[in-house]
Amino acid sequence: MRNIINISIKETRSYFASPAAYIILILFLALTGWFFTNTLFLEGGQAELRSNFNIIPFLFLFFVPALTMKMVAEEKKSGTIELLTTLPLKDTDIILGKFLGSMAILVLAVLLTFPGVLTIGILGKPDWGVLFCGYSGLFLTGAAFTAIGIYTSSVTDNQIIAFIVSFFILFILIVINSLLIFLPFPGVFEYISVIVHYENMLKGVIDSKDLVYFISITVVFLFAASKSLESRKK
């Protein structure tokens, strides 16, 4: 466990040692802030976060691949992955450490939207249970997307390819719910859609099937990333 924490701290620090993390965070907050203020001041003065909850998964579509694309791919390209794999570290430690390092930045980005929560608490009468479920949905969606990003970064040494593949997978998971009428076995594809499970949580409902979905996506892709790293030793 200590190895995982050390790797995650190293990854988080490395992000904030360059302008990349600041640029990503500023863009993320600027866009969420714009949608919130637009709803508050231009669309009937509604003090609510529904617009933010609706738009953030689509922001994750760009934010998460940008956050994770270098996690393993850069290590492969620079050759430092070979050093990591020769240390007394398990492949799962490396992957989980990088996952937690990415999640730390994603969680920070989402937490920085909390001034909006305080604003609607002052100006309106929010349903705190719905807000809790909404933020829980964001964190679970972010975790699943981050695991996918870590996996795509683990199968290539090219950050751009990692970004594109990750973006494509996340895009499918987001839009597939809109394509159900064109697909066979719509019930199956509906379950695959991340938006269906996320929107259930936005209604203030935390259902076990939604938790199983997000946890399964996260675990499966982290396991696949670990196996991808392990395959380099063969």
Cβ(68)–Cβ(161) below 8 Å: no
Q: Quote the CA–CA distance of 28 and 26 in Å, as a whole number.
A: 5
Per-residue model confidence as pLDDT tens for the chain (234 residues): 777 888 888 888 888 887 877 888 898 888 888 877 776 554 444 446 777 788 889 999 999 999 999 888 887 777 776 666 666 678 888 899 999 999 999 999 999 888 877 877 777 777 788 889 989 999 999 999 999 999 999 998 899 999 999 999 999 999 998 888 888 888 888 899 999 999 999 888 889 999 999 999 999 999 999 998 877 655
**Are 146 and 106 spatial neighbours (Cβ–Cβ below 8 Å)?**
yes
| Cα end-to-end distance, the chain, whole Å | 26
What per-residue confidence (pLDDT) applies to 85? 60
Q: Tokens standing for 190?
A: 């509906």
pTM: 0.90
Task: Give me the sign of the Cα torsion angle 64, 68, 73, 74.
Answer: positive
Do residues 199 and 213 make contact, with C-beta atoms less than 8 angstroms apart?
A: no
For residues 190 and 104, is the Cβ–Cβ distance under 8 A?
no
